[in-house]
């Protein structure tokens, strides 16, 4: 069966959305496992702006801090992110979590900096609802992308914002966070004890109790 062209697919989604949020594609759908195609003129400026706005509303409704286009069924290298960072000071300090204004990443890629040092924290995903797991990711990365106006983005980013960038860019490569996770840490968000464990500022206690290793610090 032939694949619908991206522009037709987006037109159909936008018509269905009527400017509201869209359903989020769950793990098991092939669109989450295929590398997305670069944004390269498939959409008009108007269609791209409308798609970004629908993605923003969908992310807010979920709620989440990032959303990649494949998560609404569109195999384009496009992601949005925004984080109010409404966490305790202890959690914010431990995780390097600071507020991030809304931004759009077109054709993003990243590479590790600072020797590729990794840090591990619990992480979740809108496409894998009901669970959290510890993922070791680069503490700092160099982000390259375009913004929604076609302007080049080339910056170093660290802490929790770097984690969001890696998570969303991985989606565009057909990778889910569970592919990188320490599966012994997998926790249901429906269990009080598990929630208390992953809500800790760091996963040190969880690692001790569940028997998995964390990256060495320093």
Contacts of 129 (CB under 8 A, 6+ apart): 26
60 labelled binding-site residue? no
* Active-site option among 82, 168, 209, 216: 168
Token pair listed for 117: 């040092």
49-58 per-residue burial string, b: 16 or more CB within 10 A, e: under 16: ebbbebbbbb
Contacts of 10 (CB under 8 A, 6+ apart): 42, 43, 47, 51, 74
Strands (E) across 139-207 are located at 140-146, 152-158, 181-188
125 labelled binding-site residue? yes
196: annotated active-site residue: no
The secondary structure element, H or E, covering residue 103 is strand 100-112
* Catalytically active residues, by annotation: 168
Binding residues: 125, 167, 171
Binding residues for Fe cation: 125, 167, 171
């Amino acid at each position: 069966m032939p694949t619908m062209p991206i522009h037709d697919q987006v037109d159909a989604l936008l018509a269905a959305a009527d400017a509201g949020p869209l359903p989020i594609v769950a793990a098991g759908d092939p669109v989450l496992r295929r590398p997305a195609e670069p944004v390269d003129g498939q959409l008009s400026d108007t269609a791209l702006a409308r798609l970004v706005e629908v993605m923003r509303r969908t992310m807010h409704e979920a709620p989440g801090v990032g959303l990649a286009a494949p998560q609404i069924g569109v195999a384009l290298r496009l992601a949005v992110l925004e984080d109010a960072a409404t966490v305790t000071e202890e959690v914010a300090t431990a995780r390097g979590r600071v507020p991030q204004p809304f931004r759009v990443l077109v054709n993003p890629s990243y590479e590790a900096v600072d020797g590729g040092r990794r840090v591990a924290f619990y992480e979740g995903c809108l496409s894998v609802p009901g669970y959290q797991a510890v993922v070791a990711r680069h503490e700092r990365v160099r982000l390259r992308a375009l913004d929604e106006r076609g302007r080049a983005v080339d910056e170093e980013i660290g802490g929790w914002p770097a984690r969001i960038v890696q998570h969303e860019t991985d989606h565009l490569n057909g990778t889910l966070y569970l592919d990188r996770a320490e599966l012994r840490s997998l926790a249901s968000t429906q269990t009080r004890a598990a929630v208390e464990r992953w809500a800790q500022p760091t996963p040190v206690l969880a690692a001790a109790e569940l028997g998995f290793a964390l990256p060495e610090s320093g």
